[in-house]
Structure formats: C-alpha cells, structure tokens
Amino acid sequence: ACLPCAPGLPALRLGPGCSSLQRQAAEAAASCSNEAALQAALALLVESSPRVLPPKKRSLKELSSVIVALETLRDFPGRIGLDIGGSLAKMAFMQAASQQCQLADHFGVTGRRHPELSFEAIAEGKVHEVHFISGSTAQLEKTLMETRHLPNSGKTRRVVASGGGAHRFATSMRQVLNVELVAFQEMESLVCGLDFLHEHGPADEVFRIGQDLSEVPSDWPDPLLPCLLVNMGSGVSILRVDKSKRDGLTTNNFVRLGGTACGGSTFLGLVRLMTTARSFAEAIELAQAGDPATVNKLVGDIYGVEGCRTLGLPADLPAAYFGKLMAMDDKTREAITEADIAAALLQMVVQESVVLARAFVQLMSVQIGRAPPVFFIGGFLFHNAPARHIISSS
C-alpha cells in the first residue's frame, strides 16, 4: 500500500511483510498534522524497516582504489591505449623497461593487471615494457557515475580510445578524471595491433592449441597477409586484412566481411539465465565440467554410425543445439546438469564463429589460391581454454 505523507514529503510504500508497529506508525503519519510527531514516525520507520533505506553504495575504499588506479594511469608519462567494449574495458600502456610499474595487481571489484601478458618491445631505439589491465565496463561506468560530483584534479590528458565507450563515456571521463577521449576506429585498432605484435611482440605471441588444451607456440605465418581476424568479444567481427601500396608506401588495409551477434555476451547472458553461475569465470568452470552431447542432438543420433560414414560426417558433430530437449520428459530433465547446459551453450556460441570463419576461408582460398591464416582474438578467449579447444577441434 502507498500511504500519503504531509505536503513536501515522499509517500511511504509498505509491503505485505511489514510489521504491525510499522503499519501503525505509517497510519499515524498519514493523518498527523504535527510536524514533529510526523518526523518521529518517519524516523521509526527508517530504523525498523530496511525497505525504506536508500540502496547500499560501494565503500569509499573500494571507489578510491579504482579512482587512484585511473588517476595513476592518467598521470602516467608513457603511452596509453584504451578500448571500452560492451563487456570489458581494456588498456595497454608502455613505459621504459627500467621503470617499475606503479599500478596495483587488483583494484576495485573487477580491475586487474595482467603481468602474464607483459612483454618488452624496442620502439624508437629504446627498450620498453608493455603492460595490460582490464576491468568490467559496467563497474567502470558505476565508478564514474558515483564519483562525478567529486572535485577532480590534475592536468587534462588526451587518450586515444576505441570501442563504444570512447563515445559513451567521453563526458564522464572528462568530468571525473580530466581525460579527453579521442575516439579511434575499433577495427583499425585491431589491424594496427596485429601489425605491432608481428613486428615487436614476444616470440610466443602466436600459438596453437594442443590435444591437452595447452598452448603450443607457433611461428608467424609466412606470408602473413592476406589473413582473417576473428575478433570474439561481446559480439563477433571477422576482418580480411590485405597489404597494399600507396604513394610508394606499403600499408595494411582491411574490410569487415561479416560477423555475428552470437558472442561472449550471448554465452554469459544465457548461462546466467539457465544456471546458477553468475560470473564469467564460474560459467567457464561450469562448461569445462559438462558434456554438450547430453542436450545437443548429434548427427550420429539421426543417421547412426553407418549413415555418418555414408555422409562423410563425424558422428559427434552437432546437428541441432539443444535438440534433445525437444522431446524431453521428466526423466531426461533430471539427467541434465547445469554443467551440460553451460557446455552446450559454449559450443553453440563458439562454433557459430568457426563456421563463419571457415566459409570465408573457403571463399578466400578460391580468390588467392591458398588458405589464408586465421587469427582468433578477443577478450572472450582470454582464460577460456574450453573455447580455444572447440575452435581447434572444429
């Protein structure tokens, strides 16, 4: 029920679970013309019912750790590159190899530095160390919103940024941190990044996936171009990268061949809907323990072993994702685990991109006379061993 209060004061909403004392106080407040008595009744309601308390805010310590990290990066003397995607915000920064990284390994709820990705690179005749950090885009947005009223300090700094957040967060980054985001074309940044890593990156930057899911270092393809880049993030984009000459200079040019809206956000969103997993790490751990064949209808389920031989298709190839649930009874449902559902979702999302990439490879093979190298990249594949295995085995 919504009980009216005195003019200028908000109405009080009381759910069916409120105590008798709360209801009596609310009724008294509704008909009371004495302001002092009304304020006392309101105080009683606030003290005795969590329903009328304001939403809990994050602690100052938690907020300050994020702001300190962001301000440290803003004042950082080296070079910075930022990408604010639909799920993750990522930053690369480069400093002299002789300098120690001043950034904490963890900050806020999701902020992380990734020392396992750091590497040395020689640029402009000097040795530099390249570092990487990441965090949830949603948490970054919350931090910017919750601190936008606080006074900021420091000089204004321009930072080149890609992704949708380069536009969406431009105002709040300027208000909170005195940072001016200079938007950079997201697809172009991927191609420039590939070129930089090819020239300056570590020797083990390119790898294949072994049968035991381990990373097996691989040499860069020769020739490198033309190639396909399959960028798996919240969604998926597939680029063709070629080499071209203009005014005597050799440059890389690219075109987006296609993509799919079935990406990392699809996987996590459906896992959260269909299982008890809440985080990406929990979803991946769950998928690793499951068997997608429990819910997927396979080619072998339709044609049998001999029929699959006739078709020339493997019997364990999915014919219909979640197809076995079409005729599900109670006994079948009881045999299905959350891990099976997560594993099937991961297979569905990853193979969607693999099928698209394979189609483009076949088309390019006709055009250039050979199969081009294909690079699978993106935040969705980071710390995602089962997805890498699906790619390598599809």
Predicted confidence (pLDDT) per residue in 357-372, tens digit = 999 999 999 999 999 9
| Residue 294 DSSP symbol | G
pLDDT of residue 27: 64
Segment 372-378 mean pLDDT: 96
pLDDT of residue 244: 82
Query: Which of 169, 184, 199 represents a domain boundary (last residue)?
Result: 184
Segment 34-40 mean pLDDT: 61
Query: Which of 159, 184, 209 represents a domain boundary (last residue)?
Result: 184
Find the range with the poorest average confidence among 92-106, 155-169, 370-384. Answer: 92-106
> Based on the domain organization, do 176 and 268 belong to the same domain?
no
Find the range with the poorest average confidence among 4-8, 26-30, 376-380. Answer: 4-8
Residue 169 lies in a domain: yes
Residue 318 lies in a domain: no
Query: Which of 162, 184, 206 represents a domain boundary (last residue)?
Result: 184
> Based on the domain organization, do 266 and 357 belong to the same domain?
yes
pLDDT of residue 11: 44
Q: Are 256 and 187 in contact (CB under 8 A)?
A: yes
Q: Band of the pLDDT at 246, cuts 50, 70, 90?
A: confident
Residue 236 lies in a domain: no
Q: Which tokens belong to 19?
A: 């105590």
Q: What are phi and psi of 10, to 5 degrees?
A: -70, 150
Question: Where residue 180 sits, what CATH number does that domain have?
Answer: 3.30.420.510
Contacts of 155 (CB under 8 A, 6+ apart): 178
> Based on the domain organization, do 174 and 282 belong to the same domain?
no
> Based on the domain organization, do 382 and 277 belong to the same domain?
yes
Segment 94-120 mean pLDDT: 90
Residue 175 lies in a domain: yes
pLDDT of residue 54: 43
Strands (E), 137-226: 157-162, 179-183, 207-209, 215-217
pLDDT of residue 325: 93
Segment 221-233 mean pLDDT: 96
Find the range with the poorest average confidence among 37-46, 62-71, 259-268, 319-328. Answer: 37-46
Question: Where residue 345 sits, what CATH number does that domain have?
Answer: 3.30.420.40
pLDDT of residue 341: 97
Residue 354 lies in a domain: yes
Greatest mean pLDDT among 73-82, 339-348, 381-390? 339-348
- 320 pLDDT more than 50: yes
Report which of residues 245 and 375 the model is more confident about. 375
State the residue range of the domain holding 133: 60-184
pLDDT of residue 351: 97
Residue 340 lies in a domain: yes
How many domains, in total, are found in the chain? 2
- The predicted-structure confidence for 140-182, as pLDDT tens digits, reads as follows 999 888 888 877 767 889 999 999 999 999 999 999 999 999 9
> Based on the domain organization, do 180 and 264 belong to the same domain?
no
Segment 20-27 mean pLDDT: 58
pLDDT of residue 31: 64
Question: Percent of the chain beyond pLDDT 70?
Answer: 84
- The predicted-structure confidence for 275-294, as pLDDT tens digits, reads as follows 999 999 999 999 999 999 99
Residue 195 lies in a domain: no
Minimal CA–CA distance to 213: which of 390, 385, 391? 385
Q: How would you class 246 by CB atoms within 10 Å of its CB: exposed for 0-12, middle for 13-18, buried for 19 or more?
A: exposed
Residue 103 lies in a domain: yes
> Based on the domain organization, do 271 and 388 belong to the same domain?
yes
> Based on the domain organization, do 269 and 368 belong to the same domain?
yes
Segment 326-355 mean pLDDT: 94
